[in-house]
Amino acid sequence: MSMMSDAGAGEAAEAIVTKALRVLREYPLCDNCLGRMFALLGRGMTNAERGKALKTLIVMELHRRIRGGDNEAKILLRELAPRLRPVVDTLYRELFGEEPGAEECYICGRGLDALIDTAAREAVEKLMRSNVSSFLVAARIPPDMRSREDEIKTSLGLQYGENIGAEVKREVSKRIQQTLGLRPDFEHPDVLVEVDLASWSVRAQYLPLLIAGRYWKLARRVSQSIWVTRDWERRYPFSVEDGLALLSELLDGRDTILHGAGREDADVRMLGTGRPFIVEVKEAKRRTIKIHTMDIALNRHAYGLVEYKLASRARRSDVASVKGVDSRHSKIYKALVVVDKPVSEEGLSELERFFTRRSIKQRTPRRVRHRRPDIVRERIVFSVKTRRLGEKVFEALINAEGGLYIKELVSGDDGDTEPSFASVLGVRAYCAELDVVAVIDGERL
């Protein structure tokens, strides 16, 4: 392999300058838009620097020819001067005794460098007031701007260019990174900075912050989500979601949404293992608060009603898997059962034997049929353990598949749940108190 000769290198350089000159003869372009046509050539410089270098070389080359007495070069310089500013200014004044005119960039219209600067400054100003650690810049390019750029590339056969969106994204990102020390994140940014090239406006869109955790509901008459009646009255004074709303304040967000792994009724406590959930804080602008700090604030706020344990940041895809927990997981409930006729120890032993891996057919309970789809579901009761507390009262630990309504497993819901404690014992049965004591992966703890 032979080294490229000086002459060869000269030719290559000339080829690029010739090409750039051809571009400028056809189209007025700002430094950035000209440089971008050759973006893949040379490293470690911006398109603005590329464009300026090319314009400088063109001016130098035309000046060389003019000095050699080439009158055509002088005419060309005069004609192209508005497209070669500001590097041509001094020479132009010297040659023609006046200021060159001005021309707008064919692609961006105004001079991309200044526009990028303005957009970056606006973005920095917006992000400065927030407390985020990562970002992503998106650019909205008007179709006519895109087609003008493509037109130049195709008509002049330019193959080393990139597109205007890529340049805007990179340059605005670079300035945000340098000024605020934030990290670009292409997968899960805290904030999306949208630069709209049609209006040259900047919008900062804070993405929801998701945190996974578990909750324990220590009191009855606490619903999982905020429950408002048709008359816009609160059904219960406090909910698990109410407690989490504090995160909106802490993280300077707009709203909080609770995604629970299933739910229990408002009068049912959630004890033992707690119930997994993901809390979503919309438009969180203060995102560097430690999870431990949030935990302390939440638990102080909901003291005696709900206990929270936040674990880690979660991703959007985790929401579906937490919500799906209901179908995969089983639960252990503790029910206080009251019956209308005395039940013996033997009766309870028989109940335990019967409800061992027993399949239950359950129609949507009457009490929720007005707000849930009316279907017949089939769920497994894995086991039942009982403790007799009196002639007509006993406690039952029920290990069942998620999604089974336990109050109706006890009462039978007038035959809509079959079999039930009531039908097996031959009594009327009522679930007076219910707690969830475990939400577990699989059948058993």
Using CB under 5 A as the binding criterion, the count of chain residues that bind Zn ion stands at: 6
- Six-digit token string for 133: 């650690």
Binding mask 15-54 for Zn ion (x = CB under 5 A): ---------------x--x---------------------
- Residue 145 touches Zn ion, criterion: CB under 5 A: no
Q: By C-beta, is 196 or 326 nearer to Zn ion? A: 196
Q: How far apart are CA 370 and CA 88, in angstroms?
A: 79
- Six-digit token string for 8: 């060869």
Residue 217's region, left for phi above 0, alpha for psi from -120 to 50, else beta, is beta
* Pairing assessment for the beta strands 134-140 and 183-184 based on DSSP bridges: parallel
Annotated catalytic residue 89:
no
Q: By C-beta, is 196 or 295 nearer to Zn ion? A: 196
Amino acid at site 352:
E
- Six-digit token string for 305: 């009603």
Choosing from 117, 196, 252, 265, which is the catalytic residue?
265
Q: By C-beta, is 30 or 398 nearer to Zn ion? A: 30
Closest listed residue to residue 366, CA positions, set 408, 303, 313: 408
Which residues 56-115 are close enough to bind Zn ion by CB under 5 A? 105, 107-108, 112
Question: Which residues neighbour 69 within 8 Å (Cβ) at sequence distance 6 or greater?
Answer: none
Q: By C-beta, is 33 or 193 nearer to Zn ion? A: 33
Quick one: three-class SS letters along the chain? CCCCCHHHHHHHHHHHHHHHHHHHHHCCCCHHHHHHCCCCCCCCCCHHHHHHHHHHHHHHHHHHHHHCCCHHHHHHHHHHHHHCCCCCHHHHHHHHCCCCCCCCCCCCCCCHHHHHHHHHHHHHHHHHCCECCEEEEEEECCHHHHHHHHHHHHHHCCCCCCCHHHHHHHHHHHHHHHHHCCEECCCCCCEEEEEECCCCEEEEEECCEEEEEEEEECCCCCECCCCECCCCCECCCCEHHHHHCHHHHHCCCCEEEEEECCCCCCCEEEEEEEEEEEEEEECCCECCCCHHHHHHHHHHHCCCCEEEEEEEECCHHHHHHHHCHHHHCEEEEEEEEEECCCCCHHHHHHHHHHCCCEEEEEECCHHHCCCCCCCEEEEEEEEEEEEEEECCEEEEEEEEECCCCHHHHHHCHHHCEECCHHHHHCCCEEEEEEEEEEEECCCCC
**Residues with catalytic annotation?**
265
Give the binding site for Zn ion (CB under 5 A): 30, 33, 105, 107-108, 112
